[in-house]
């Protein structure tokens, strides 16, 4: 999921059955330089099998 009008850095949320993972997309000079995965506050992380679909 991508929410309009959210804060920096650019990021997307992967959700499944109450679990959630965030992916921050680090862009430098218009080029994706790095993707950082992390948990979402107050939510358990995605299970490993679910993460494969998100990554």
Spell out the per-residue pLDDT of the chain, length 55, in tens: 777 777 778 889 999 999 999 999 999 999 999 999 999 889 999 999 999 988 8
The confidence score (pLDDT) of residue 15 equals 93
Domain-wise residue ranges, the chain: 11-54
CA-based end-to-end distance of the chain: 13
- List, in sequence order, every beta strand (DSSP E) within the chain: 11-16, 19-28, 31-39
**Which stretch of DSSP H or E encloses residue 2?**
none
pLDDT confidence of residue 55: 80
Helices (H), 1-55: 48-54
Residue 23 pLDDT: 92
Q: Judge residue 48's burial from the number of C-beta atoms within 10 Å of its C-beta, 0-12 exposed, 13-18 middle, 19 or more buried.
A: exposed
């Amino acid at each position: 999921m991508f929410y309009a009008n959210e804060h920096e850095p650019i990021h997307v949320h992967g959700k499944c059955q109450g679990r959630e993972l965030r992916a921050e997309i680090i862009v430098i000079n218009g080029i994706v330089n790095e993707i950082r995965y992390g948990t979402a506050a107050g939510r358990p992380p995605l299970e490993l099998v679910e993460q494969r679909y998100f990554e």
